[in-house]
Structure 1
Amino acid sequence: MKTLVCFGDSITAHELNDDDSLRLTSRVRLSLSKWNVINAGVPAETTRLALTRFQEDVLRHEPDLVTVLFGANDASTHRLIEVEEYKNNLIYMIEKLGPSKIILISPSPVDENEQHARTNERTHQYAKAVKELADTYNTHFIDLWKKMTGRNYKQMLTQDGLHFNKKGYRLLAGLVIQKMEKLKKAKKTKKRFAALAKIQKG
């Protein structure tokens, strides 16, 4: 069985919402029954803290794929990790895992009417940094920032203006599942072409 590790902060960490609706890993696990889905999320975490447990919570599992979703805390005023360090921390993860095994996910927008420790202007800088790294290292990428700002994203957030409600997790989990299904199809196509090439050479 293949292994998917979902690595992140509180948006990844919990399995259920307060209303008992499924969050990220529980939704992905339900849809991808042939995968061992490991929840490696820790609330309130930044990428700096995440590196201290990267070996134990990610690499130790020898995963086939890893989703990486950080930025909400790195961009906050009370836990601020500057963008350059944030990028360097993500680069470390990419280089340790290998670009083909990582799905970078950009941080999401917040409801500034409810959030006083985060602004969309600052968080967008972190979202752009993730996209730049995905382009530079040719990793798999989910542009969650773009997907949410293209919708009425405030309806996807809980009352704190940061965490996701049922609609938010339906979108996020759907994007992860869609990405993994796309990768599976691409791998099958690659194998098919390799087989045809082998036949033609013979």
Structure 2
Amino acid sequence: MFIIAGLGNPTLQYEGTRHNAGFDVIDTLAGKYNISVDGRKNRALIGKGIIEGKKVILAKPQTYMNLSGESLGGLVDYYKVDEESEFLVVYDDISLDVGQLRIRKKGSAGGHNGMKNIISHLGTEVFPRIKVGVGEKPKKYDLADYVLSRFSKEERAIMEEGCQKAVEAVEMILRGEMEEAMNKFNRKVKPKEA
């Protein structure tokens, strides 16, 4: 069993915001593999299916971002998965350009409150994650306002490509190709020439 969790905030109010990039990737995965993410377990919406020959649970915590660990810590315990090899978190990152990915095997929360809470509940920062870039916060912008803002039309198109790349990265990780996924997606992609 492999848990793939996307971070975000529940309710329609937050749909399509930068902070919900993790939810967007889970929705893209669910669509591709025909997995209904409508079950409920441990304060998360979950869906079970098969990706790359592995049994997976797609999870969208419904605790609001800053308490994501309360939900995911319980799921990890319940399904007895090994954080290091059977758990993957997908979330937004403001230090990356829109749609850019960064894949890590472990690491600190880097100021992301959802990740801080997960690390606190799991008692380890050794678990894989895919960060999805949502663009840098403009100067004089409040961080909370920025991550809860929506993408422009142009950014949304780039973000959809980013979600597709994140799905490909998830597939590679499930095949045991973590290094290859890091080599493929962690390099900065130059914007296409106009």
- TM superposition score category, shorter chain reference: 0.3 to 0.5
Larger CA Rg, structure 1 vs 2: 1
- What TM-score, normalized to structure 2? 0.44
- What TM-score, normalized to structure 1? 0.42
